[in-house]
A and B are shown apart, each in its own frame.
Chain A
């Protein structure tokens, strides 16, 4: 079946604007994850959703970051009042419970 998809693939925004990134997980995957990959760095875990449980927000870097997921489907990551240090590739992954994570192609965010 189809893999994890993310949109937009690229986003350029001005400092101070809000952005919304979307992730469509693999059908049937109950778990969904957001990561951030800064240039030349590894991935930083941001947030994790598992079914209808309360999300694990332990990796969110500030209160400007938030994410929602409706049931076991689409998730959106919102960054309010973007800053230049938010520029990164934002990756989404999904998994069946207890299984390995499968990643989407990412959204490249550039904050000017």
Chain B
């Protein structure tokens, strides 16, 4: 069975500072990893995905994530955050290519950007 752990329920960060949102997973098979963002009162939006190839994945809005198989992690990073990045961020895992089955989500991390 798969599981996803997002270690921080809330992360407060000052504007223009760097941020890392942590995600660890467990899976007995090959994994495919995703980060989704949910802005206030909006639906989930795909931020980036790791399916294969380079372990450093770049997504939208300047975010990137690195797949680390030995540490079973897929942490999300941004070098300089903006007020508009305030949102809930969800890490998700699938054991089939591109998420061709139900995703297993973490509980989310609320990113709070402080001016």
Contacts and interface: CB of A to CB of B under 8 A. Distances in A.
Given A43-B105, A100-B34, A105 B42 contact: yes
A102 B103 CA distance: 12
**Interface size class of chain A, counting residues whose CB lies under 8 Å from the partner chain:** 20 to 34
Contacts of A93: 44
B100 A31 contact: yes
Contacts of A56: 101-102
Interface in B65-115: 90, 92, 96-108
Nearest to B32: A100
B27 interface: no
A47 B96 CA distance: 16
A25 interface: no
B55 interface: no
Given A91-B44, A98-B97, A100-B49, A42 B107 contact: yes
Interface string A99-112: 11111111000000
A50 B99 CA distance: 12
A95 B100 contact: yes
Interface of A: 4, 31, 33, 35, 40-48, 50, 56, 58-59, 91, 93, 95, 97-106
Top 5 nearest A-B pairs (CB, nearest first) are A45-B102, A103-B44, A42-B105, A105-B43, A98-B98
5 contacts: A40-B107, A45-B104, A95-B100, A97-B98, A104-B43
